[in-house]
Amino acid sequence: MTAPVPKVPELFVPVMKAMETLGGSASIEEINDRVAQMMGLPEATRAGLHGNGPTTKFDYRCAWTRSWLKNAGLTDNSERGVWSLTASGRLMLDAPADQLIKMVRKANSNRRKAAAQNGNAQAVNDEVDIDTTETAPKDWRERLLDILLGLEPEAFERLCQRILREAGFIKVEVTGRSGDGGIDGTGVLRVNLLSFHVLFQSKRWKGSVGASVVRDFRGAMVGRADKGLILTTGTFTADARREAVRDGAPTIDLIDGEALCDLLKEQKIGVKVRMVEEVTADEAAFAGF
């Protein structure tokens, strides 16, 4: 029987401790890996999907954990996705778990009260409680991934081709030949004066891509290209990510569903970003009239 995924409140202390052991700051992947290691969670527990996917339940709850800790002023994150402990967070590292949970709950309650007082009904409705994150509304990435999962395999391959072209690849071709070790296409990435021949695989999956997929792909690309790239709508297991950077073997770059959505947003492919205009009156500007 697979061990259950810890609930969000149970992850508060491990997530903060993980950041501490990583030097006070870390990427999401580093934090999740360290938390799983500290809590002794088996791979099967980590790989279980949240609902219909594509995010794993463990990653989903870790994401909410970081958000709740940030709302309480204990953690922060940069635009590059690096999370760090704040000064307040460091002070709470040795606090009992129940005290930390109480603090985070109070911060959440204060946010809801402030939103209500400011007449921001939408913010109140959008806010969820620590114990009801499983029913939180889908964000734009989840909705986008639902659309991508509905594409035909050939259409998804063409989309990946477009993504690589927009990212600066040239001579991008979709091959999709059966029995070719999962290689779906080729491209050339030019960096300054150097060019790299890249083979890519596009996997329109709901679940987690395992280490065997990475090994098979590497075996198919050896001697045929400089780099390998796997793009998926799903996630990669921890074993797959370790296999991708295994010592003594060609590195395989991995792009999971979340990173794929961010690329589509950055490249403005099927994603619209609406900036809210803020207008203020500048009284000083009228002083000279």
pLDDT bin (cut points 50, 70, 90) of residue 258 is confident
Residue range 216-231, pLDDT digits in tens:
999 998 888 889 999 9
**What structural domains does the chain harbor?**
8-137 (1.10.10), 148-267 (3.40.1350.10)
**Which is higher by pLDDT, 126 or 43?**
43
Quickly list H helices, the chain: 8-21, 28-39, 43-47, 57-71, 87-91, 97-117, 121-126, 140-149, 153-166, 211-221, 238-244, 257-267
Asked if 49 contacts 56 with a C-beta cutoff of 8 angstroms, the reply is yes
Residue 26: how many CB atoms within 10 A of its CB? 20
Mean pLDDT of the chain: 86
What is the structure's pLDDT at 126?
Answer: 47
Q: What are the pLDDT digits (tens) for 92-106?
A: 999 999 999 999 989
Residue 56 — φ and ψ, nearest 5°? Answer: -75, 155
Q: Residue 125: is its pLDDT beyond 60?
A: no
Q: Which of 25-29, 58-62, 170-174, 189-193 has the lowest mean pLDDT?
A: 189-193
pTM of the model: 0.72
Give the pLDDT band of residue 124 (cuts 50, 70, 90).
Answer: very low
Which residue type occupies 196? F
Average pLDDT over residues 247-271: 90
Question: What pLDDT, on a 0 to 100 scale, did the predictor assign at position 230?
Answer: 96
CA-CA-CA-CA torsion sign (77, 22, 85, 46): positive
Using CA of residue 65, residue 67, residue 71, residue 76, what is the dihedral sign?
Answer: positive
